[in-house]
Amino acid sequence: MSADLSALPDPPQKLRRLCVVLGDQLDAESAVFDAFDPAQDALLLTEAAEEATYLAQHKKRLVLFFAAMRHFALEQAALGRPLIYRRLDGAAPAATLAESLIRAIRDFDPEEIRVAQPGDHRVLTALEAAANGAGKPLLALEDRHFLVSRARFADWFRGRKRILLEDFYRAERKRAGWLMTEDGQPVGGAWNFDKDNRKSFGAEGPGLIAPRPRFEPDPVTREVIAMVRARFAAAPGAIDGFAEAVTRADALQALEDFIANRLPRFGDHQDAMATGHVTLNHSRLSTSLNLKLLHPREVCEAALAAYAAGRAPLNAVEGFVRQILGWREYVRGIYWSLMPAYAQRNGLGAGETVPAFFWTGETEMACLADGLGGVMREGYAHHIQRLMVMGLFMMLYGARPYAAHEWHMALYLDAIDWVSLPNVLGMSQHGDEGVVGSKPYAASGAYIDRMSDHCAGCPYDPKQATGPKACPFTTLYWSFLERHEDRFKPNMRMRMQLANLARKDAEERKTIRQAEAALRRRLTV
């Protein structure tokens, strides 16, 4: 594909519809294309400077978004659809999405502006303000990419005494008919197989893992890489070795590869970690899903077809489907049901900044060095690293939940506000007072030791909370429980952890507090 964006079809001088396409809405079946008329309508895509700089974002994240946008624009142009495409390195770049929209309204006077429902409350507010200021209606159309509409989730959410993923997931499984028997029962006699998905790799390690496909940069992507190198040299993360899916064709190939090569082994070791392994048997399809290059229905149906054909076991397929039909749809519903106030929640009263080494990956802690190293190189970590290594450390340390979310948004390739905020502020940091998770995911270094090989090569001992070899996770864990002891007492799911804390006498607690204070001094140097 040619990298030349200068030969895009010119929009009509007077528009009926201006269809705004955002960088995470690269869906050729989007509602903005319904009844699209090239003689009267045009698309607007903008590489806005603000979207690249409001957070110091990973270089590969910038490459991914801009390269995917440019490929999508060229594909739409090949269909004869007129485009207004504002390049960040073009002759007339736009500082913000709102500025780009205002300029398009001024130049083409559209009767109507259309956009699929954005995945970021901040972006929706900015576009609405820009359109209203120009006296034009902005229609935010249903985003058909998702399996559950915002209205349907709102109906489920409204007036419920308990908001649990399990209740939502079961209802949607029944509605979809996925992994259900003819008499309406779950296949295999259980709704989930978590108990089968928590194996560690053991001393033998993960064995041979099929490598994920790499998509070598074409001229379009190489041009973006050069721009990011030049304009964002100070951004965090590596840029060398970029090989992400940036087109739908790439994404479909990645889906096919996962289903054939890693889904069969995904279930058993879903929560396991191994030093030096970034991907393991995880799909790494979240970037393509969140850019809308893949539809969640086709992803789930590909996994279901593998199970039906005997090519993947039930625990792997159910676990994978639950991540998408269950968790992914659930957190989106939570986001739009509770925003914008949700972003300000801080149920544990945490007030620290994210530790500086989270932006470099430089630490002696083996588990964090491995997890953060993968993030710095690839903009990725699998879900258990995100939750039970990076997320766990930030919660025990007391980082502000929104600051943890901003770190996540800045460094992960797949992070979009709607999915990041509930996952980080809610599930990972327990900052939403139990909306997403009924208990904090609090654990000592013993959990990491059980689920990984990290501790064997670490200078710290996960069993020790004090002394020169004390594991920072274990030190912070006991301090965390003591700090929030009264808050957690009513929570029946915290009973065992608090009972273990109660066995520590006053002197031991004092020694742990002193060890925590010394650790915090070291981390802030």
At 117-163, the pLDDT tens digits run 999 999 999 999 999 999 998 999 999 999 999 999 999 999 888 88
> How far is the C-alpha of 246 from the C-alpha of 244, rounded, in Å?
6
Backbone angles phi, psi at 227, to 5 degrees: -65, -45
What is the Cα gyration radius of the chain?
24
Percentage above 70 pLDDT, the chain: 99
- The pLDDT tens digits for 17-38 are 999 999 999 999 999 999 999 9
* CB neighbour burial string for 436-471, b if at least 16 within 10 angstroms, e if fewer: bbeebebbbbebbbebbbbbeebebbbeebbeeebb
Q: What Cα–Cα distance (Å) separates residue 420 from each residue in 154, 290, 361?
A: 20, 11, 20
Distance CA 235, CA 373 (A): 16
- The whole-number pLDDT of residue 2 equals 45
Please, which residues have CB within 8 angstroms of residue 314's CB and are 6 or more apart in sequence? 179, 187, 188, 193, 307
pLDDT at position 525 is 64
pLDDT at 153: 96
Is 11 within 8 Å of 37 (Cβ atoms)?
Answer: no
Beta-strand runs (E) in 93-188: 112-116, 138-141
Q: How would residue 3 be classed by pLDDT, with cut points 50, 70 and 90? A: low
Give the span between the Cα atoms of 350 and 483, in whole angstroms. Answer: 11
Place of tokens 């073009």: 90
Report percent pLDDT > 90 for the chain. Answer: 89
Q: Please tell me the pTM assigned to this model.
A: 0.95
Residue-wise pLDDT tens digits, 29-77? 999 999 999 999 999 999 999 999 999 999 999 999 999 999 999 999 9
> What's the CA gap between 301 and 285, in Å, rounded?
14
Distance CA 194, CA 267 (A): 9
> Taking a C-beta distance cutoff of 8 angstroms, is the pair 427, 129 a contact?
no
pLDDT bucket at 519, cuts 50 / 70 / 90: very high
Per-residue pLDDT at 292 exceeds 50: yes
**393-407: per-residue pLDDT in tens?**
999 999 999 999 999
pLDDT greater than 90 at residue 8: no
pLDDT tens-digit map of 442-460: 999 999 999 999 999 899 9
Write down the pLDDT at residue 423. Answer: 97
pLDDT, one tens digit per residue, over 197-245 is: 888 888 888 988 989 999 999 999 999 999 999 999 999 999 999 999 9
What per-residue string of b and e applies to 165-196 under the rule 16 or more CB within 10 Å gives b? Answer: beebbeebbeebebbeeeeeebeeeebbbeeb
